[in-house]
């Protein structure tokens, strides 16, 4: 499978909480938990079950970065990462990170990169909404 999403995180389904229309699916990716919101129809179609192997797709432009862990935020995913590279472009910067052994990439504006003073070896928090996560099954 080839997609335009820069981030593919492989893991195992940890939990599924079913609501009236949507379900919350939690994937264990190494020591981290990734929360995704899917329609109940998608959960059924994908045959998602606890213990199943799955992956999360996250567009790099959907990731917000912070230097300090936010205490109160509506985004369900707040993951500590280590910056491995910063590539400045004309308008945006590509921030490459690792979470354990998993690579993660975010695209932020150059202005934001400069304001946060993000550089190689910094620790940052990658923040993204559960609705920004696409789940696929292996």
More confident residue, 86 or 1: 86
For residue 114, pLDDT beyond 90: yes
What is residue 76's DSSP assignment? Answer: S
What is residue 99's DSSP assignment? Answer: E
- Residue 62's nearest CA partner among 4, 121, 21 is 4
pTM, full prediction = 0.94
For residue 47, pLDDT beyond 90: yes
- Burial string for 22-56 (b: 16+ CB within 10 Å, else e) reads bbbbbbebeebebbbbbeeebbeebebeeebebbb
Give residue-wise pLDDT tens across range 11-42. Answer: 999 999 999 999 999 999 999 999 999 999 99
Give residue-wise pLDDT tens across range 58-87. Answer: 999 999 999 999 999 999 999 999 999 999
Q: Please give the pLDDT value at position 138.
A: 92
């Amino acid at each position: 499978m080839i997609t335009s999403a820069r981030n593919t995180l492989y893991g195992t389904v940890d939990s599924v909480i079913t609501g009236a229309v949507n379900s919350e699916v939690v994937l264990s990716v190494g020591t981290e938990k990734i929360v995704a919101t899917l329609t109940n129809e998608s959960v059924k179609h994908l045959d998602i079950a606890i213990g199943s192997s799955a992956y999360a797709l996250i567009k790099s432009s959907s990731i917000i970065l912070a230097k300090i862990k936010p205490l109160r935020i509506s985004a369900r995913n707040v993951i500590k990462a280590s910056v491995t590279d910063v590539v400045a472009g004309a308008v945006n910067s590509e921030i490459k990170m690792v979470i354990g052994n998993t690579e993660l990439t975010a695209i932020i504006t150059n202005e934001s990169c400069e304001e946060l003073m993000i550089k190689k070896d910094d620790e940052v928090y990658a923040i993204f909404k559960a609705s920004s996560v696409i789940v696929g099954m292996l």
